[in-house]
Amino acid sequence: MSDKVLLKGGRVVDPSLGIDSTLDVLLAEGVVASLSSDIDAPEGARVVDCAGLVVTPGLIDVHVHLREPGEEHKETIATGAAAAAAGGFTAVCAMPNTDPPIDDPAAVGFVRAAGRAAGQARVHPVGCISVGRAGLRLALVGEMVDAGAVAITDDGNPVMNSGLMRLALEYTQAFGIPVADHPEDLGVSALGHMNEGIVSARLGLAGKPNASEDIHIVRDLLLAELTGGHIHLQHVSTRFGVDAIRQAKARGVRVTAEATPHHLVLTHEAVEGYRTDAKMNPPLRTRDDVEAVRAGVSDGTLDTIATDHAPHHYDEKEAAFADAPNGIVGLETALGVVMTRVVGEGVIDLPTMVERMSCQPARAFNLPGGTLAEGGAADVTVFDPGATWTVDPAAFLSKSRNTPFAGWELTGAPRMTIVEGRVVWSA
Amino acid sequence: MNEPSPHALGKDLIGLEGLSREQILTILDTAEPFKEISERRIKKVPVLRGKTIVNLFFEASTRTRISFEFAEKRLSADTVNISSSGSSVTKGETLVDTARNLEAMRIDMVVIRHAASGAARFLAERIPSNVINAGDGWHEHPTQGLLDLLTIRDHKGRIEGLKVCIVGDILHSRVARSNIYGLRALGAEVAICGPRTLLPPAPEELGCRVFTHIEEAMEWADVLNVLRLQLERMEAGYVPSLREYNRVWGVSNRRLDAAPRDILILHPGPMNRGVEIDSAVADGPRSVILNQVTNGVAVRMAVLYLLAGGQPEKAEAAKQGGDS
């Protein structure tokens, strides 16, 4: 492994620098050493011909479930980090809903150490908002931040107690980290297994109405406005939710928000036939909601694209719909799905995709990377925007195969993933 | 046999949704000759001799299981009953293994009742045997829908153009969904009536009118299909009390007498007398509730016969004992 990498002649797309042009990028000693046209290869540098390829600041996924500790049959930190690298991601934020949950500094340290040992994409630990994810009292936020936590969330569960959410939004301000929330009022939705609507009515499945998500989006926005804290709303899936966030941003509320690739391209019709690989929470919603999520990603209301990578073992998903767990894997399909069905359909352009999948996630979670500025971390993604491939879950590096995109033909494929100047994955 | 006819059913009967008018009429017409077998002194014909059928009931059921069992035995099939219950997750796990075990034992047909919507289809996709859905969660109960159609046709002479209102807990009802699909396929107008807490989302998209008040439903309908109100719906808070439910949505002679037409009353059973239906209605001249039970056996015989490869036009000959 060379300590110098020269990426020659690629289309360098970095909205953080306002760059979209053919340039060379030299990485040395873990940082971006220079960025200009026609760099001569230094002694001993690995030279990579990037003609026809796109070179961007490394993609960052702020929402993944790596299942370790506790559910290593679904995924481990090492396999998840490898899957991330194979998907073109140089960093991921690991959700704390493990068993035991990541709610103290020792557990945060474990995740960080296991991520480093894996030597693939960076693994940034996210800690719990509440002790044991029980929703009762604040976890050791400051000590977890010292140990490496980049945010807190009780993801998987919403924070049902609005008073606790208020405290979290106040207390985190001392540490400069966002509070990420899975917005859902369980009183309205807890029995549901999919979006509430005509498909749930026909299939005879209990539904989760949009209102269950919207109630908590609005609550979180009000509390962020009240406290001045930074709320990060996860996997927004409803039209009303997008509109509420847009209005809040216009008022100056400190809110950042995610869209997932699946909520950008799939509707609740994908559940037809009781397909458990289309079961996730929040559920796939209507075409109207998908259009709103796409508009939100387009205008920046939803500033981040994150996968909510949620691996499950095949025999857990091979069950009656109501008995199957929520979630789908996303790390190894995200770039292709977004390139093909979001960029390819003109919802956003390629620089905006890089903004949503790299620059903004780094900014929102205060992470290294997200820019090719000289002196910054040498986290770089190289991908082929024209390569066509077919999604074959059997080829995933993730331990799990639960994807609704199996068999999809996608255009846009990762070619090389570089973390701190080290090539961790290449096609 | 080689050309799939528009009347053919395919491997399984999972639901009435998606079945054509021709397919549904084929089943109803095939049931007609089978009705007579149950009236004989010796109620048995050799139509399914040598076929093995498993009645796989993951959820308690008396009437449906017995009805299927009579239908199978009167057609001379060899039957095994399996009853099982447990937590939702246990059932889900069991289902995959059950499917594999059944496949390994070379069963010809499986009749399945399960608490999870989609369970019958789940099984059908995994085994080569014919699968008949005897009720999956809130989804469908196609043989109940068919026997309701047959009973309505017996008494009204037609389905097309009739106005049928399903009353009660539509949200949690597989009977309601099968009725809606079957009735609409045969050209009936369908309405639903009940407390809004127990109606499904998007009823208009299901093709149903909605009546909030039972009096309005009776003003409109030719037929009422009155569903059982389960006690657990009250416990879960969907309705505050059974007494109040009876007061607001109960089907009584007082209300029926005020209706402009003589309304035919169906109920899939088991009834909660004095809750969704008054005894005087259940036992009165408008009620065809016991005819439904009788027709249930004939309809199930027809479905078993057709899925086993029997041809509709030969049903009359088959029941004479000649053809199997």
Dihedral (Cα; A102, A108, A110, A114), 10-degree rounding: 100
Whether A206 shows a pLDDT value over 60: the answer reads yes
ipTM of the complex as predicted: 0.91
The answer to whether B177 faces chain A, any CB pair under 8 Å, is: yes
Whether A234 shows a pLDDT value over 70: the answer reads yes
Q: Looking at chain B, which residue has its C-alpha nearest residue A193? A: B117
Map tokens 């059908």 to a residue. Answer: B124
Q: Which of A208, A210, A274, A287 to mutate to test the interface with B (most CBs of B within 10 A)?
A: A274
pLDDT, tens only, A43-61 = 999 999 999 999 999 999 9
Whether A19 shows a pLDDT value over 50: the answer reads yes
Nearest to A201 among B95, B121, B200 (CB): B200
pLDDT, tens only, A261-316 = 999 999 999 999 999 999 999 999 999 999 999 999 999 999 999 999 999 999 99
User: CB–CB of A202 and B114 under 8 A?
Assistant: no
**Burial classification of residue B135, based on how many CB atoms lie within 10 Å of its CB (0-12 exposed, 13-18 middle, 19 or more buried):** buried
Whether B260 shows a pLDDT value over 70: the answer reads yes
Shortest Cα–Cα distance, A416 to chain B (Å): 40
On chain B, the residues whose CB falls within 8 A of the CB of A277 are none
Nearest to B88 among A200, A202, A323 (CB): A323
Q: Which of B56, B90, B122 to mutate to test the interface with A (most CBs of A within 10 A)?
A: B122
On chain A, the residues whose CB falls within 8 A of the CB of B16 are none
**Is the full-model pTM beyond 0.80?**
yes
User: CB–CB of B202 and A197 under 8 A?
Assistant: yes
The answer to whether B201 faces chain A, any CB pair under 8 Å, is: yes
Question: What is the phi-psi region of residue B237: left when phi exceeds 0, alpha when psi lies from -120 to 50, beta otherwise?
Answer: left
Q: Looking at chain A, which residue has its C-alpha nearest residue B199? A: A201
Q: What is the mean pLDDT of residues B260-265?
A: 97
Shortest Cα–Cα distance, A209 to chain B (Å): 9
Residues in chain A whose Cβ is within 8 Å of chain B: 196-198, 200-207, 209, 273-274, 315, 318-324
- Amino acid B4: pLDDT: 59
pLDDT, tens only, A67-90 = 999 999 999 999 999 999 999 999
Integer angstrom CA distances of residue A77 from A85, A112, B128? 12, 9, 40
User: CB–CB of A321 and B116 under 8 A?
Assistant: yes
User: CB–CB of A205 and B138 under 8 A?
Assistant: yes
The answer to whether B210 faces chain A, any CB pair under 8 Å, is: no
- Amino acid A132: pLDDT: 97
Q: Which of B89, B123, B126, B184 to mutate to test the interface with A (most CBs of A within 10 A)?
A: B89
Choose between B147 and B231: higher pLDDT. B147
In a 3-state reduction of DSSP, which class is residue A341? helix
Dihedral sign for Cα atoms in the order A130, A132, A134, A136: negative
d(CA B68, CA B80): 11
Dihedral (Cα; B93, B99, B105, B108), 10-degree rounding: 150
Q: What is the mean pLDDT of residues B191-206?
A: 96
